[in-house]
Every structure is written in C-alpha cells, then in structure tokens.
Structure 1
Amino acid sequence: MENSIGDLIINGKGSSGGDKFKKVSIMGEGFINGDVECVKFKTCGESDVNGNLKVTDIVDIKGRIGIKGNLETKNLEIRGEIEVNKDLFTEQCKIWGKIDIGGNLNAEIFTLDGGCTIEGLLNADKLKMILSLPCKVHEIGGSDITVKKGGKLMFIGLRDIMGSVKHKELTADIIEGDNVFLENTKAKVVRGTNVKIGPGCEIDLVEYKNDFKQDKGAEVKKSSQKK
C-alpha cells in the first residue's frame, strides 16, 4: 500500500494508533485508536478499532472484533463475533457466529451461519442465512434470498450458548428479491418474482409476480399477484 508504514503486529496484549499499514496481525488482545487502512487484517482473540477500517484484500477474524466506524473490504471471514457501529461494505461475506451492524450492510455474496442484528438494509445479490441464532434485520433486498432453519453452531469463545437458544428465527419488516425462499421467518411484507414460504413462517403480506408456494406449516395473512 502506498505511503504505508509497514506491518502492525500485536502478540499478547497491545495498542496502536491508526495509520496506513501493509498488514495488521493481532494475536491476543489489541486496540487501535484511529482509522486504519491496510491490505490484510487478521486477528485471533479480542480486538477493537476506534475508527474506520478499510482493507483492500481480506479481513479474517477468529474471536471478537468491534469497529466504531465503517468497515470496507473485499472479503470478510468471521468465526466468532463482529460489531460494526456504522456501515459494512464488502464483495463477499462469510460468517460463522454473530454479526451486529448499526447501519447498512452491502455485499455481492452474503453467507451467514449464526445470528445477526442489522439496524438498516441488508443488501446482497446472493444471500443465504442459516438461523443457528436469532436474526433481526430492518430490510432485506437481493436477487436470490434463502433463509433456512439452523442447528447447533459450535464455536469456542462465542458469548451466546448456541445449543440453548430456542427462538432461532429471522424477524424483518421488508424482504424483497427475485427468488425468495424462507423458513422460520416473521415479516410484515415479502415481495418477489418467485416466492416460497416454508415452515415456521409468519408473514403479513406476500406480493409476487410469477410463482407463490406456501408450506402447510406457514401462516400468510394475505397474498396477491402483481403483474
């Protein structure tokens, strides 16, 4: 990275100011006070960034990370917990665990096995959610949207007790896509070209263009076809 000052490496417990780095590696507990720009960001343990985080290649998290500002990266892989106070921008996002976003999440491919809280819009071309923990999203938009009931998510260090969570469901105001398949979902409005409402769903209104299917274990208060 142009004008970078080299690598930032923290082993054990340490802190640093924000800057431009080639690589950031935190093994243990690390705190960065300020905005960070780098090519690769990797942490195993506990870390916090008191600012924005911009990574041109990959963010690889094993454990927990908190980011006070925005997160922008090409690839994001999480095995554990991530909290972003503002917006998240990424091409590909894979999460095994829990994600909390204070703003919007934009991705081309979004894959989640776990739980999430997204205060704004979750927008992805291809979106797949396995509900191993409760999920709450204000609005979901995409091309292919798949939400399925999950099982136990085993991850050492995650604060929630995975096997004991009873209400593994998605709650959303609006879900809109081309091809939509839902299980264990509560939503006010679902819109799509082809919509399938699977078991465990409670939907107030379904609007579809071509095809609509409803499982006998789902509740849909109203459905209408839009030309």
Structure 2
Amino acid sequence: MKNTMETRANHAREKLNVFGSKSFSQPVIAESVRVKGVASFKKDVQTNEFSIIGDCTIRGSLVAESFSNSGTCKIEGVSQINEIKNTGSCKLGKIQAKHIHSSGTLSIKEDVCAETLTVQGAVRVNGNLQVKKIEIGFIAPSELQNVEGDIITLAPSRKFISLTSFIPGIKKRIACKTIKGNDITLSKTDVSIVSGRHIKIGPDCNVDEVEYSGTLHVDPSASVGKITQL
C-alpha cells in the first residue's frame, strides 16, 4: 500500500532545489529540499534533508532526518526531525526530535519532545518542554513554560555578546513557570517552582519555591522564597 502523502503528491522528486520564488500546493516527497530563495509549502513535506538559506513557510507538517535553517522559517504543523540546526529565525509548531541546536532565534508555539536541546541565542516555548538534556545560553530575553528533563542548565551565554546588551532597559534573562529535573543549574532566571535532586540557584535568580531531595546551593544575590527538602 502506497504512502498517503505519496499518492497525493503531484511531483515527487529525488532532489528539490528552490531558487527565486516558488509555491507548492500539494504534498512534497523528495530525497532533499534546498531553499535558496522564497518557498511556500501549503501541505506536508517529507524528505531526508531540508535546508534553508532564504525564506520558507510550511503550512503542513515536516518529516525529515535533518533540518538546517540559516534564513527565516515558519512551520505550522508537527515537525518530526532527527536533528535540527538553526542559525537564523525559526518559528515552529510542535516538535518531536532527537537533537535541537539553535544559535539564532527559536520560537516554538506548542510542545517539544527531544533528547537534547542546545541554545546559544534567544528562545521562546509556549508549550511544555520535555528534553533529557537542556543547555540554554540566552543572549536576549527568553521565555519557557513548563520545563522537564534530566540535566537542565539555564544561564546567559558566554560565547556571544548580544547587541541588546547595549540597549538601555533590555536585560538578558529567562522566565519559566516550572522547572523539574535531576540536576538543575540556573542563572538570571525567574521561575515560580523549581523541583529536583541537585539544584544550583545562581546569581540574580528569582525563585518563588524550591523543592529538592539531594543538594541545594543558593547564590547570595539570588532571591528564593519557600524551600522544602523532600
């Protein structure tokens, strides 16, 4: 039985290269998709390799082994990708991935499920973030909702100097509702509840409540409310 996407696709190509401006109204299946101009996909896309240098919009879902974006990208459907690399501006819907790397601007509308998330840039996740290993070095104001993982590190990036650092009134901070993990390290983080085994509350953090079962270290410059040892 043929794949549903395959039977509906008008043009299934081995390699799809987009130069200039082009729109696709039907589902696309290809060995690789490379966008070096402006591309609009109104349906689902399935490929091994998807790369963007220009501007790309996918109204449906994306299934791919690898995805790289160094331009501007928006995917409205579910992204099922083995490895994501973003150095540009990327807006995604719901993500199921193994590894996510971003050194640009990453905005995710729904839930994220992955093995690793590494960020050196700005990030915003409106859904739940469930990742085994999370390492976020933010260079601009960032925001998460409910974060859950094994190893979680949230701190200003030491690798990049953000232009916003020189703009009065804009501070490099990250805000969360809840953080739950085994080993948690925070700096310049505003969060309601932090729960875990080993927790380090670093400089300039604002935490309403902490629950820990192993060790807890609180920097003198941090503000912490209720502390409960489990």
Tell me which residue corresponds to 1:105: 112
Q: Is the 8 A contact 2:164 2:171 kept in 1?
A: no
Tell me which residue corresponds to 2:220: 216
Q: Is the 8 A contact 2:165 2:171 kept in 1?
A: no
CA deviation profile, 1:98-122 (whole Å, cap 9, x unmatched) = 1111110111010001111111111
| CA positional deviation for 1:43 | 0.8
Amino acid at match of 1:24: V
Amino acid at match of 1:186: D
Amino acid at match of 1:82: C
TM-aligned CA distance change 1:154 to 1:212, over 3 Å: closer
| CA positional deviation for 1:151 | 5.5
| CA positional deviation for 1:59 | 0.1
Per mean C-alpha deviation after superposition, the further-off stretch among 126-135 and 173-182 is 126-135
| Percent of aligned pairs with the same amino acid | 23
| CA positional deviation for 1:12 | 2.2
Tell me which residue corresponds to 1:170: 174
Match of 1:22, SS state, is strand
| CA positional deviation for 1:167 | 2.0
- Pick from 43, 54, 66 the counterpart of residue 34 of structure 1: 43
- Pick from 142, 151, 159 the counterpart of residue 144 of structure 1: 151
Tell me which residue corresponds to 1:135: 142
| CA positional deviation for 1:5 | 3.1
Q: Is the 8 A contact 1:150 1:168 kept in 2?
A: no
For residues 164 and 35 of structure 1, the distance between their equivalents in structure 2, rounded to whole angstroms, comes to: 42
Question: Which has a greater percent of strand?
Answer: 1
Q: Which runs of 5+ in 2 are unaligned?
A: 7-11
Question: Are 2:70 and 1:62 equivalent residues in the alignment?
Answer: yes
For residues 130 and 181 of structure 2, the distance between their equivalents in structure 1, rounded to whole angstroms, comes to: 10
- Pick from 183, 191, 203 the counterpart of residue 199 of structure 1: 203
Per mean C-alpha deviation after superposition, the further-off stretch among 161-170 and 45-54 is 161-170
- Pick from 178, 186, 191 the counterpart of residue 190 of structure 2: 186
Question: Are 2:19 and 1:15 equivalent residues in the alignment?
Answer: no
| CA positional deviation for 1:206 | 0.5
Q: Which runs of 5+ in 1 are unaligned?
A: 156-160
Tell me which residue corresponds to 1:158: none
- Pick from 44, 59, 64 the counterpart of residue 53 of structure 2: 44
Give the alignment's TM-score, normalised by structure 2. Answer: 0.89
Tell me which residue corresponds to 2:99: 92
Question: Are 2:85 and 1:77 equivalent residues in the alignment?
Answer: yes
